[in-house]
């Protein structure tokens, strides 16, 4: 589309943990499973709302610049004014949503409204003989350096830093309790204590990345903490000598949620390049449903049904892996995007193998 490159697309704004996030139904949903591993992704509703406020303000500024440009070349903005008013209504609804469901609804409505706005803009550019490059320049100028937008960006990053560091601190306290209980029961916990101290020191790295507004650094810090937390959880498990069936399945479900969240992020990135992601989007939705069923059955003590749901989810992971491989073969992707798609496919493959041997 002529207009699609005009400004950052709201469809990429639903997950603050990445520079571009999962769209609508694929947005990461906070897991109900509590395990000894640090989550790869943060997903607080307050952070997502702050992110939406910032990126939606960019989109709204781009809309206004678009309407000014089209009015200058053909004397009318057609239905764009009405569409932009609808966008503001949905934006306010998303910013003040009290639940994940309401936030997802607001985001879906905003994304659909953006699609209408872009389609109408494309049509008017063609009919009026407007210059897409001139429009692009005016939109970028309207978005860049706007004090109100800069303030929303500052608020987003401050909200995110406070929430992620608070979550880290709460998680550390939660996973430290089992070690303390083991120690009180006479276990030798030195190996676990050493790993726990190592993870505690990683907080500074996460905080530095948050303060630097470095998405890649934040992701790397969380992955490092997550990897160390796996080692810590393994140490605690070895100290206990036993691990119940429900805890094992909980770990699988927890890690599976992270794998699907990353797939949702990848879908959003591919969608921004105009790549058809229908199959992978459907599979992510299917996977989320299967995880939800498995969790419900596990909570009810129906481990046979939970295992059946997990087995079905493993098949979904394999199908999703194959769908990404097909995209790699079918599409002419930028090098960095192709590497990301391959990395996601490999993660899905590793997870499916983990499930077959767990």
Ranges of each domain in the chain: 10-31+44-149, 245-358
The arithmetic mean of pLDDT across residues 330-352, rounded, is 88
Q: What is the pLDDT of residues 230-281, one digit of tens each?
A: 999 988 888 775 445 556 677 778 888 888 888 999 999 899 889 988 999 9
Average pLDDT, the chain: 82
* pLDDT for res 308: 84
- Label residues 300-326 b or e (16+ Cβ within 10 Å = b): eeeeeebeebbeebbebbbbbbebbbe
Q: What is the pLDDT of residues 286-326, one digit of tens each?
A: 999 988 888 888 777 677 788 888 888 889 989 999 999 99
- pLDDT over threshold 60, residue 357: no
pTM value is: 0.56
The arithmetic mean of pLDDT across residues 114-143, rounded, is 91
- pLDDT over threshold 50, residue 23: no
- pLDDT over threshold 60, residue 11: no
What percent of the chain is predicted at pLDDT more than 90? 40
| CA dist., res. 171 & res. 151, Å (int) | 30
Q: Among 81, 95, 117, 110, which residue's Cα sits nearest to residue 6?
A: 117
* pLDDT for res 250: 76
Q: What is the pLDDT of residues 40-59, one digit of tens each?
A: 777 788 898 899 999 999 99
CATH (residue range 245-358)? 1.20.1440
Q: Among 195, 276, 286, 208, which residue's Cα sits nearest to residue 238?
A: 195
The DSSP code for 40 is: S
Residue found under tokens 């830093």: 161
Q: Which two structure tokens, joined as six digits, stand for 211?
A: 């303060």
* pLDDT for res 158: 96
Determine how many CB atoms are found less than 10 A away from the CB of residue 137. 14
CA distances from 147 to 1, 211, 342 (A): 30, 20, 39
Residue 167: pLDDT band (50, 70, 90) is very high
Residue found under tokens 């943060």: 42
* pLDDT for res 109: 92
| CA dist., res. 108 & res. 93, Å (int) | 11
Residue 61: pLDDT band (50, 70, 90) is very high
* pLDDT for res 251: 76
- pLDDT over threshold 50, residue 31: no
């Amino acid at each position: 589309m002529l207009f699609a490159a005009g400004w950052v697309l709201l469809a990429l704004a639903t997950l603050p943990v990445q520079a571009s996030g999962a769209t609508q139904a694929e947005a990461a949903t906070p897991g109900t499973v509590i395990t000894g591993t640090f989550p790869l992704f943060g997903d607080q509703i307050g952070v997502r709302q702050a992110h939406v406020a910032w990126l939606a303000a960019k989109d709204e500024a781009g809309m206004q610049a678009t309407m000014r440009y089209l009015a200058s070349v053909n004397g009318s903005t057609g239905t764009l004014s009405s569409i932009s008013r609808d966008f503001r209504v949905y934006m306010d609804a998303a910013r003040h949503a009290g639940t994940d469901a309401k936030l997802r609804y607001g985001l879906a409505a905003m994304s659909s409204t953006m699609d209408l706005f872009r389609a109408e803009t494309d049509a008017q550019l063609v009919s009026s003989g407007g210059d897409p490059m001139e429009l692009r320049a005016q939109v970028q100028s309207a978005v860049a350096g706007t004090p109100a937008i800069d303030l929303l960006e500052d608020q987003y990053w401050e909200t995110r830093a406070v929430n992620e560091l608070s979550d880290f601190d709460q998680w550390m306290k939660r996973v430290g309790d089992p070690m303390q209980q083991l120690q009180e029961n006479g276990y030798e916990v030195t190996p676990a204590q050493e790993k726990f101290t190592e993870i505690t020191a990683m907080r500074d790295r996460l905080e530095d990345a948050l303060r630097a507004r470095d998405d890649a650094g934040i992701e790397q810090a969380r992955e490092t903490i997550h990897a160390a937390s796996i080692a810590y959880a393994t140490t605690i498990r070895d100290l206990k000598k036993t691990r119940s069936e429900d805890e094992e399945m909980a770990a699988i479900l927890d890690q599976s949620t992270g794998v699907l969240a990353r797939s949702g992020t990848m879908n959003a990135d591919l969608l921004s390049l105009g790549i058809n992601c229908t199959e992978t989007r459907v599979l992510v939705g299917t996977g989320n449903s299967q995880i939800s069923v498995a969790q419900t059955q596990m909570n009810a003590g129906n481990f046979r049904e939970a295992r059946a749901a997990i087995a079905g989810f493993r098949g979904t992971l394999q199908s999703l892996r194959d769908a990404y491989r097909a995209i790699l073969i079918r599409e002419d992707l930028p090098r960095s995007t192709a590497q990301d798609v391959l990395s996601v496919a490999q993660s899905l493959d590793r997870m499916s193998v983990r499930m077959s041997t767990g």
